[in-house]
Amino acid sequence: MKAHRPLRNALSVLLHSPDTRAPAYGPHVRDVLDLKRTMAIVLLALLPCIVFAFAHYGLSRLLPLFVVSYGVGLAVEWLFSLIRGTEINEGYLVTGALIPLIVPITIPLWQLALAVVFALVFAKEAFGGTGHNIFNPALVCRAFLFFAYPAQMTGAVWEPPSEHGTANSNQSAPELVYAVSSATAASMPQASTSDAVSAATPLALAKSAPSGRTRSLLDEAGYTTSAMLEGRIPGSPGERNKLAILLGALLLLLTGIASARIMLAGVVGLLLTATLATALSANPTGLFAVSAWQHLLMGSFLFGIVFMATDPVTHPETNAGKWVFGFLCGAFTIMIRLYNPAYVEGTMLAILLMNAFAPALDRAALAVHIRQRRARRGT
């Protein structure tokens, strides 16, 4: 197969509509919604987050991440389309935009490229390509980085110089504990300009706070509720501005592209589990002392539940399955955050775990459905 043909076809179909028509037998008309339009709406929903990220970090820092993500990703897709003799699918349009938003801004580009290749080959193409994967490729990419290059993924997060000229973090908190040894933390790359700082994320700060000091520590660092909503906190580029995420969620729900059940169940699961955990702990310290609503605003849960957990390929198809899936995503996020001493953020691992169980949830829901059908028909 000529090497350029998949690229030419993909470009031609991207710029114009495909010249495909219904066959001579069967329904002769189709709705105007196709997978490209679905992806376009998700990208539109991501636009507030992307705009905020570019506004905050600047073009020179964030654009290389997008270029590497899309460039390497499309190269892998092209290679596999050649091997398989199929067309290039548009599945990577959304994944390619998600990946730069969930990795730290200081990630070395070669690590990002490696992670994209790993995620696409092992978590998507090995299963058959778009529509066949079990795990969310963007999350697998981040998981690969997390486990293979933990130094770059954990610890203090680089912040660009703030416009007001004052440092927006408190680096002198003595009780900061990281998932890596302090020696490794000391060897992390420092910002080149003198005003740039490295800061602990609200979750990291809260997790290591001693009893009774969580709220005050957060306030001292400037991590108020409004700051977390507007994204004036350290974190990965996409998951900081909760208002932008909520705008995106609104668009996805309005157009009916993402599952409202999963989003709602996730939020409910998170809030319930957090409240329960705090209520059950005798002497709440660290993250136990954070209220359930703050858990929603801290970290990457909101981004994860709106854009990652609602990936239609990796979540259950049955309605009952979706409720359980969403609920357990929220519940496991809290459990990993609170009960696991090593990991500060649990969203990625919780969603990946539930992705693995999505088929099982569907099977259970279908077994109940089949039994109900038999009862109704008296067989």
Partner 1 sequence: MFELHSLARQLPETIALTTNGRTHAISKGFDIRLTGKAAPGSRFEAAAPLRVGATAGVIPGAKMRPLVRVGERVRRGDPVLAYRDGFGVFVVAPATGEVVAVVRGADRTSACVEIARDDSRVEEFTELNLAALDREELAQQLRRSGLWPLLRERPVGGTPLSGPPNAIFINVMDTEPLAADPGVLLRDRQEDFKQGLAILRRLSDGPLYLCIPRSTIWAYFDELAEVEIHRFGGPHPSGLPGTHIDRIAPLAVGGRYWTIRAQDVARIGECARTHAFPSRRWIALVGPNARRPGYYEIHEGSPLRLLIDDIDSDSRILQGTVLSAFASDIDDYLATTVHTVTIIGEGRGQRPLLGWARPNFNHPSASRASFGWLRRRPAYPIDARLHGESRAIVNIGVWDKVMPLDVHVSSLVRAIQAGDLEEALALGLLDLIEEDVALCTYVDPCKLDVGAVIRRGLDQYVREQGSE
SS3 assignment, position 198: strand
CB hemisphere CA count around 99 (13 angstroms)? 37
Residues across the chain:
379
Per-residue tokens: 19:
């010249």
Instruction: Please say which residue, 4 or 369, places its beta carbon nearer to partner 1.
Output: 369
Instruction: Please say which residue, 129 or 202, places its beta carbon nearer to partner 1.
Output: 129
Does 5 help bind partner 1 (rule: CB under 8 A)? no
Report the distance separating Cα 167 and Cα 202, nearest Å: 16
The interface mask with partner 1, positions 245-284, x = CB under 8 A, is ---------xxxx-x-------------------------
The interface mask with partner 1, positions 312-351, x = CB under 8 A, is xx---xxx--------------------------------
SS3 assignment, position 158: strand
Among 32, 279, 280, 342, the residue binding partner 1 under the rule CB under 8 A is 32
- Binding to partner 1, residues 122-181 (CB under 8 A): 128-132
Query: Given the rule CB under 8 A, which of 138-146, 220-228, 240-248, 364-372 is the region that contacts partner 1?
Result: 364-372
Query: Do 314 and 271 touch, CB atoms closer than 8 A?
Result: no
Least distance to partner 1 from the beta carbon of 44, Å? Answer: 9
Least distance to partner 1 from the beta carbon of 264, Å? Answer: 14
How many CB atoms within 10 Å of residue 133?
A: 24
Does 38 help bind partner 1 (rule: CB under 8 A)? yes
Report the distance separating Cα 219 and Cα 124, nearest Å: 42
Does 87 help bind partner 1 (rule: CB under 8 A)? yes
3-state secondary structure 267-280: HHHHHHHHHHHHHH
Q: Could you tell me the sign of the dihedral formed by the alpha carbons of 342, 343, 344, 346, in that order?
A: negative
Among 23, 85, 165, 174, the residue binding partner 1 under the rule CB under 8 A is 23
Least distance to partner 1 from the beta carbon of 82, Å? Answer: 18
Among 1, 22, 59, 67, the residue binding partner 1 under the rule CB under 8 A is 22
How many CB atoms within 10 Å of residue 67?
A: 12
Query: Do 48 and 244 touch, CB atoms closer than 8 A?
Result: yes
Among 13, 121, 188, 292, the residue binding partner 1 under the rule CB under 8 A is 13
CA distances from 214 to 175, 270, 285, 288, 293 (A): 11, 19, 7, 9, 15
Instruction: Please say which residue, 89 or 208, places its beta carbon nearer to partner 1.
Output: 89
SS3 assignment, position 157: strand
SS3 assignment, position 48: helix
Among 40, 121, 191, 268, the residue binding partner 1 under the rule CB under 8 A is 40
Task: Kindly report each contact of residues 110-113 with a partner whose C-beta sits within 8 Å and lies 24 or more positions away, as own/partner.
Answer: 111/145, 111/148, 111/149, 111/152, 112/65, 112/68, 112/69, 112/72, 112/145, 113/68, 113/72
At 157, phi and psi to the nearest 5?
-105, 135
The interface mask with partner 1, positions 197-216, x = CB under 8 A, is --------------------
Least distance to partner 1 from the beta carbon of 262, Å? Answer: 11
Number of residues that bind partner 1 (CB under 8 A): 55
Instruction: Please say which residue, 25 or 147, places its beta carbon nearer to partner 1.
Output: 25
Show the CA angle centred on residue 21, arms to residues 18 and 26, nearest 5°: 145
Report the distance separating Cα 133 and Cα 135, nearest Å: 6
Instruction: Please say which residue, 91 or 234, places its beta carbon nearer to partner 1.
Output: 91
Does 17 help bind partner 1 (rule: CB under 8 A)? yes
Does 219 help bind partner 1 (rule: CB under 8 A)? no
Query: Given the rule CB under 8 A, which of 238-246, 286-294, 329-337, 363-371 is the region that contacts partner 1?
Result: 363-371
Per-residue tokens: 137:
């490729």
Residue carrying structure tokens 């088929």: 359
Query: Given the rule CB under 8 A, which of 27-35, 72-80, 198-206, 237-245 is the region that contacts partner 1?
Result: 27-35
* Contacts with partner 1, residue ranges (CB under 8 A): 13, 15-38, 40-41, 87, 89, 128-132, 254-257, 259, 312-313, 317-319, 362, 366, 369-370, 372-374, 376-379
